[in-house]
Structure 1
């Protein structure tokens, strides 16, 4: 993994996304967002593009747009573990604080796994097209009641062709798939606490970076319902700390066993502990300790992948 080159690649992606975000904002037909939400109550950008925490979508709608407004956000994120690296970039458009359209791009550096597969320098690239609609509640207006804000979302994920195609085909995993989720976000404004619960129907292996589903060895190839939980505490009006938990399907484990790998393709839940800071209403910076569990443990000595995550979001 070339860590010294990563900041330069990330900066280049950020320069490309900001003009796109500006163009999207200009092209939208309604009034620009000029008031904005309370700091950090709209979440940040997930590694998949939707508004929420770092690894799980919330029921909030991305950007600074409130009712009657349109807005746009762009983000750049980087996660580093002992053996892997992930760069995520994307944009989201918020309409009337009710609809969200998002696009995320992920570049996963396979590190030691690619080398042991005879594919040194292998990067897995994935595009994620998302949509979300708020169907009930309002996080701010209902903050003094028990009613949460509820949203329904969909994410279509497409993994680019790579040297891993033959392996995924042998395991019976597809390179594209669609997740559907329901999120409920409750803001206790007086206490400065935000709680989110998401239930996701998915076939994705490691968020889709290892394809979707598996058929080898009679592995379960249907949708599974995976829970995701986020809790954040507003230390001040512009600083929040919290944690996230996201369960993952384990569809490749049985397929891996049938291929003679034992538990070598086992997947674990993703977790993080984060701090988010909003120096202004248009900028938020997030840092986190991440635990992705085991990612292809057959090539990493069954080691849990822990490390750091940093993200910058620009929202208007």
Structure 2
């Protein structure tokens, strides 16, 4: 992440910690969530597991405060490079607002596609999430935390997206997620339904001229807590296959996350993203760092 963003988040945390409060008042940034129960940043900037969105709310604050987080994520594939960076705010563990920028480096593929060597596709994602019911950790073990989310995506290379057959340069995904940490078993389970018409999350536009409808997709995650600071798991994300010129495959990963400190979490994963823009077997490494308060 850019150094100014790190400094801003750190300054906000120190300022809140240094402000005197009455005994009966809670600090604005309380950091009261259990480690890792706020999830990590997804490639779209929402809190979740990396590839999949969860119902969790960003930041480490409980329902008494405001949480902040920032992330940078890198994915190295045989033919492409993917980067995502962004910020998120969680309000009273109820509302999440986030922004992320995706950069997709086509490297040598750019030449083959007629874009030029190293052409980079860019996308902005503005998202909001609302916790409707339940709690990820506490309460009835049979009632998960349930959240609804909206992700508005603006492709900054709309002419390229239209050239490959997309109908639009922008679009909106709607998600409904259910997440529960079964503390007695140290297991977290998540399921997310996503309505989307994004091609490769929107980097290749949205829909096509012949099919401009939202499609229902599924995202699932299972994680096991090895210790208070370490988690391993797996994710699956189904994808629409809209474009005639390029097959789009489902995604999956195997990940490990470790909280180096109460505020800094690093996630590493093996990812299989299938075929992207006619180039198959896009499997590689995922590395993400998140700072959260």
Match of 1:60 in 2: 56
Q: Aligned pair 1:133/2:130, yes or no?
A: yes
Match of 2:251 in 1: 270
Question: How many Å separate the matches in 2 of 1:125 and 1:170?
Answer: 15
- Name which of 157, 164, 171 aligns with 1:161: 157
Question: How many Å separate the matches in 2 of 1:42 and 1:247?
Answer: 23
Deviation at 1:167, TM superposition (A): 5.6
C-alpha distance after superposition, 1:115-136 (max 9, x if no partner): 1123212000111000001000
Question: How many Å separate the matches in 2 of 1:242 and 1:149?
Answer: 19
Match of 2:233 in 1: 242
Taking a change above 3 Å as real, the CA distance of residues 289 and 93 of structure 1, as seen in their structure-2 partners, is same
Q: Aligned pair 1:310/2:287, yes or no?
A: yes
- Name which of 185, 191, 202 aligns with 1:197: 191
Q: Aligned pair 1:225/2:216, yes or no?
A: yes
TM-score of the aligned structures, taking structure 1 as reference length: 0.85
Work out whether residues 47 and 88 of structure 1, in 8 Å CA contact, stay in contact via their aligned partners in 2: yes
Work out whether residues 166 and 208 of structure 2, in 8 Å CA contact, stay in contact via their aligned partners in 1: yes
TM-score of the aligned structures, taking structure 2 as reference length: 0.91
Gap regions ≥5 residues in structure 2: 17-25
Work out whether residues 21 and 91 of structure 1, in 8 Å CA contact, stay in contact via their aligned partners in 2: no
Question: How many Å separate the matches in 1 of 2:136 and 2:161?
Answer: 44
Taking a change above 3 Å as real, the CA distance of residues 225 and 20 of structure 1, as seen in their structure-2 partners, is farther
- Name which of 280, 302, 315 aligns with 2:261: 280
Taking a change above 3 Å as real, the CA distance of residues 147 and 31 of structure 1, as seen in their structure-2 partners, is same
C-alpha distance after superposition, 1:196-222 (max 9, x if no partner): 00000001000111010011xx3x210
Mean Cα displacement is larger for which, 81-90 or 105-114?
105-114
- Name which of 194, 199, 206 aligns with 2:200: 206
C-alpha distance after superposition, 1:62-103 (max 9, x if no partner): 100101100100001100010010111000001100000000
Taking a change above 3 Å as real, the CA distance of residues 122 and 35 of structure 1, as seen in their structure-2 partners, is closer
SS of 2:111 mapped into structure 1 = helix
Work out whether residues 31 and 70 of structure 1, in 8 Å CA contact, stay in contact via their aligned partners in 2: no
Match of 1:259 in 2: none
Question: How many Å separate the matches in 2 of 1:32 and 1:200?
Answer: 33
Match of 2:101 in 1: 105
Question: How many Å separate the matches in 2 of 1:187 and 1:95?
Answer: 21
Deviation at 1:169, TM superposition (A): 4.2
Match of 2:275 in 1: 294
SS of 1:207 mapped into structure 2 = helix
Question: How many Å separate the matches in 2 of 1:60 and 1:71?
Answer: 12
C-alpha distance after superposition, 1:215-256 (max 9, x if no partner): 1xx3x2100000000010001111000001111110113xx2
Work out whether residues 245 and 271 of structure 1, in 8 Å CA contact, stay in contact via their aligned partners in 2: yes
Question: How many Å separate the matches in 2 of 1:139 and 1:166?
Answer: 41
Q: Aligned pair 1:17/2:5, yes or no?
A: yes
